[in-house]
């Protein structure tokens, strides 16, 4: 259900002393303080939802140690390298994507120290031919970070121009506690946090329709209020989301009329609204702020 009218999104301000990359107008980092909150699933469906809204979107799997984006997008094989130096991103569901998972065997563990992992991340970002051969480039590159606040997150914050970050959490206190650490990390390295996403907020019984808050309720909303951040949306806990991720067809694409798919699209709209509030760059990439 890609929208026929393209949505051109201008470049926005990034960290001090950095400029947006030539073919990527805006990089949006998706982070979490801990694993198991559905960050990669959220990043994948969010990227597809942004593409459905008409944006030119890429998805970079920055989880070097546990890449899952290839599975979630139903992609396999190795990307092409026409000149032996640059890599053509794989494409699925209207989204360009790159992952270390395309370059190693599925069962091969990445036994790398921090510098090797961060070097791999910067190579994947800089050597991928984002945006095809035309002049348009990407409006948004969604970067699915690994959980936590380690080397890869620090490298991204210091060396990669990020227009904004989004933090994914679940409602329970232990998840929001770790999400606060991710928030503080982004603040310290001057990456603007555009908002929070509360995942697995509620479960609706498929038999009787009863709504249950299996992981508690309101944790994301309370955290957003505490830190003065927008809550971009609350996403449900549904078996179809997991099933479609395993099958390689994100729910936004497999069942676009479902309430869950609409929830992802609403989050995508709210993300664009918050990005639009950030200072723009006048005259294109690398120019001065408006």
Residue 145 lies in a domain: yes
Residue 164 lies in a domain: yes
pLDDT at residue 106, rounded to an integer: 66
Residue 113 lies in a domain: yes
Q: Does the structure show a pLDDT above 90 at 181?
A: no
Among 11-20, 114-123, 139-148, 222-231, where is mean pLDDT lowest?
114-123
Confidence of residue 146 (pLDDT cuts 50, 70, 90): confident
Residue 170 lies in a domain: yes
Q: Does the structure show a pLDDT above 50 at 126?
A: yes
pLDDT at residue 43, rounded to an integer: 96
More confident residue, 183 or 98: 98
pLDDT at residue 36, rounded to an integer: 75
Query: Six-digit token pair at 254?
Result: 């497999």
Residue 20 lies in a domain: no
Q: What would the mean pLDDT of 121-130 be, rounded to a whole number?
A: 91
CA 253, CA 149: separation in Å to the nearest integer?
A: 31
Q: Does the structure show a pLDDT above 70 at 5?
A: no
CA 73, CA 142: separation in Å to the nearest integer?
A: 14
Q: What would the mean pLDDT of 129-147 be, rounded to a whole number?
A: 87
Q: Does the structure show a pLDDT above 70 at 217?
A: no
Residue 106 lies in a domain: yes
b/e 193-232 (16+ beta carbons within 10 angstroms → b): bbbbbbbbbbbeeeeeeeeeeebebebbeebbeeeebebb
Task: State the chain's mean pLDDT as an integer.
Answer: 84
Give residue-wise pLDDT tens across range 156-180: 778 899 999 999 988 766 657 778 8
pLDDT at residue 91, rounded to an integer: 95
Total count of domains within the chain: 1
Among 46-60, 204-218, 258-272, where is mean pLDDT lowest?
204-218
Give residue-wise pLDDT tens across range 14-32: 998 898 898 999 999 998 8
Residue 283 lies in a domain: no
User: What CATH number is given to the structural domain containing 80?
Assistant: 3.40.50.300
Domain membership of residue 45 as a residue range: 32-276
Q: Does the structure show a pLDDT above 80 at 286?
A: no
Give residue-wise pLDDT tens across range 59-112: 999 887 778 999 999 998 899 988 888 999 999 999 999 998 888 766 666 666
Q: Which of 232, 163, 247 is nearest to 199 (CA)?
A: 232
pTM assigned to the model: 0.89
Q: Does the structure show a pLDDT above 50 at 290?
A: no
Strand order across the 164-169 sheet: 90-92, 95-99, 57-61, 138-144, 24-31, 164-169, 193-198, 231-234
More confident residue, 276 or 202: 276
Q: What would the mean pLDDT of 202-222 be, rounded to a whole number?
A: 61
Residue 163 lies in a domain: yes
- The length of the chain is 290
CA 165, CA 191: separation in Å to the nearest integer?
A: 7
Report whether 219 contacts 172 (CB < 8 A).
yes
Report whether 201 contacts 169 (CB < 8 A).
no
pLDDT at residue 218, rounded to an integer: 64
pLDDT at residue 184, rounded to an integer: 86
């Amino acid at each position: 259900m890609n929208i026929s009218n393209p949505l051109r999104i201008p470049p926005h301000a990034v960290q001090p002393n950095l400029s947006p990359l030539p073919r990527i107008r805006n990089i949006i980092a998706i982070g979490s303080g801990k694993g198991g909150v559905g960050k990669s699933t959220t990043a994948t469906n969010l990227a597809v939802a942004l593409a459905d809204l008409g944006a030119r979107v890429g998805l970079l799997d920055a989880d070097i140690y546990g890449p899952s984006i290839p599975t979630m997008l139903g992609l396999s094989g190795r990307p092409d390298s026409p000149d032996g130096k640059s890599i053509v991103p794989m494409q699925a569901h209207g989204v360009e994507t790159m992952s270390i998972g395309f370059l190693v065997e599925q069962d091969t563990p990445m036994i790398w120290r921090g510098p090797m992992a961060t070097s791999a991340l910067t190579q994947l970002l800089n050597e991928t031919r984002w945006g095809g051969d035309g002049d348009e480039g990407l409006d948004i590159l969604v970067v699915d970070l690994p959980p936590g606040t380690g080397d890869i997150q620090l490298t991204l914050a210091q060396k990669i121009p990020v227009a904004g970050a989004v933090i994914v959490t679940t409602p329970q206190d232990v998840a929001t506690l770790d999400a606060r650490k991710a928030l503080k990390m982004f603040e310290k390295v001057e990456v603007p946090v555009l908002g929070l996403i509360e995942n697995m907020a509620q479960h609706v019984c498929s038999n009787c329709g009863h709504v249950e808050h299996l992981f508690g309720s309101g944790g994301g909303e309370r955290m957003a209020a505490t830190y003065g951040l927008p809550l971009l949306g609350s996403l449900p806990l549904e078996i179809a989301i997991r099933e479609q991720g395993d099958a390689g067809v994100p729910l936004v694409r497999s069942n676009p009329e479902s309430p869950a798919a609409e929830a992802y699209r609403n989050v995508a709209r709210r993300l664009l609204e918050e990005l639009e509030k950030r200072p723009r760059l006048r005259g294109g990439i690398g120019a001065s702020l408006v």
